[in-house]
Amino acid sequence: MNLYPLKFDPILKERLWGGTKLKNVLNKLISSDITGESWELSGVDGNISVVVNGELRGTSLQELIQQNGAELLGKSVVERFGSDFPILIKFIDANQDLSIQLHPDDKLAKERHNSFGKTEMWYVMDSDPGAKLIIGFNKNVEKDEYIKSVENGSLLDLMNYEEVNEGDTFFINTGKIHAIGAGVLLAEIQQTSDITYRIFDFNRKDKDGNLRELHTDLALDAIDYSMKDDFKVQYSNENNVINKMVDCPYFKTNFIDLTAEMIQDVTKRDSFTIYMCVGGEAEIRDDWGSVLIKKGETVLIAAASKSIELIAEKAKLLEVTI
């Protein structure tokens, strides 16, 4: 099969906290004013991405994996994950604060939900003045102290707030309490998992007037109660080179500030490659074809491609592999 650079139809999600930046900033074809998420590349059951360009248009990601296996994913990826696509790629627009939440690790998620845990990272693409994220605690907290704060409504007093700007990047490991604040547009890279423990939702009600479900008891054994300054990712932004950002067991992410032509020999890369365009536009070529990627778009390159050419006068790309 001709595994040229593949684009997929975004899976758009309305959320209570969603807004209009996916439409107005990233040019998604959206009529709703409360769209919070654009799932760019997904193997989640019920939300399988479908190719939108070229001769494979209309083919699902799952069909591609079944037909091509290691040629698409990489031999080592198939050995670890079988026919499951291991990464979920999103753009998120928070017009309001998201709920405060956390995700269990692989062991706990397997025991409780027969699922992977959820390690993730955020790259801030746009933020309103003063916009913040919640990441972790502002001090070491005992479990009893945490429970008391939930019961008496003082949980926010224990939260660590981080004011953000474009380009800021954060690594959110399992167990770390977090929330995206109002006014933040970001790119999210995560394990393929939809397991979330919501612990506080600002007492919001859904469209039917009901408070959203909290997962207070489930969260107790999943939370990391210690204060850790381990979440802000420091990276270089030299032009036309691979600037390393995150390297964890679940994904590797690099930042590329592209102002010219850049050719990568990926002969030894036993993994697919994902490019998220977070600024400008670029042409991406591989062994089978080429595609134009603009801000807010995502492209999948098959593991069988051994050379990737990136061409742009001005583009910012996140490169993601396993």
Q: Which residues are annotated as a binding site?
A: 103, 120, 178
The catalytic position among 57, 80, 112, 198 is 198
204 is catalytic: no
Helices within 8-60 (DSSP H only): 21-24
Q: Which of 201, 216, 186, 174 is nearest to 100 (CA)?
A: 201
Question: Which residues define the annotated binding site for Zn(2+)?
Answer: 103, 120, 178
3-state secondary structure the chain: CCCCCECECCEEEEEEEEECHHHHCCCCCCCCCCEEEEEEECEECCEECEECCCCCCCCEHHHHHHHHCHHHHCHHHHHHHCCCCCEEEEEEEECCCCCEEECCCHHHHHHHHCCCCCCEEEEEEEECCCCEEEEEECCCCCHHHHHHHHHHCCHHHHEEEEECCCCCEEEECCCCCEEECCCEEEEEEEECCCCCEEEECCCCECCCCCECCCCHHHHHCCCCCCCCCCCECCCCCCECCCEEEEECCCCEEEEEEECCEEEEECCCCCCCEEEEEEEEEEEEECCCCEEEEECCCEEEECCCCCEEEEEEEEEEEEEEEC
Q: Residues with catalytic annotation?
A: 198
